[in-house]
Amino acid sequence: MATAGAFDGLDVCLHNHPCGENTVWNFHSVASIDLTIEWHGVSAHAGFVPWEGRSALLAVEVFLHAANLMQEQLVPQARLKYIILDGGQAVNVIPGYSKVLARYRG
C-alpha cells in the first residue's frame, strides 16, 4: 500500500485492532505464520511386521531435528516453534500418519 501511494500526504496513520476491552499496549510484535505439515507413511504392527511399515513419525523427527539445527542460522529476533499434533495412536504400531503445527515469527 505504501509503494502504491496510499499513505502519501499523511503525517500519521493509526491502526486499530478491536479487542474485548479498551486498552493501549506498548509492545513490539513480529509477524508470524503457521504451517500445518502432514506426513503419510504406511502403518504396520511394530512387533509383528515392522519391516512392512513406513513411519510417518520418523519423518517428523527428521524434519524437527533439521528445523532445530536451522535455528542457529536465523536472525536473533526470529522464532521457530512447533508441536506434534498427531504422532500415532499406540506405541506398538508404526504410525502411517503424522502432523505438526509449526509457527515462524520474524
pLDDT in tens, 27-75: 666 778 999 999 999 999 999 999 999 999 999 999 999 999 998 888 8
**pTM score of the predicted model:** 0.70
Q: Give the whole-angstrom CA distance, residue 100 versus residue 88.
A: 12
> Which residue carries 510484535 as its cell?
29
Q: Give the whole-angstrom CA distance, residue 38 versus residue 57.
A: 10
Q: What is the pLDDT of residue 21?
A: 76
Q: Give the whole-angstrom CA distance, residue 29 versus residue 97.
A: 34
Q: What is the pLDDT of residue 28?
A: 65
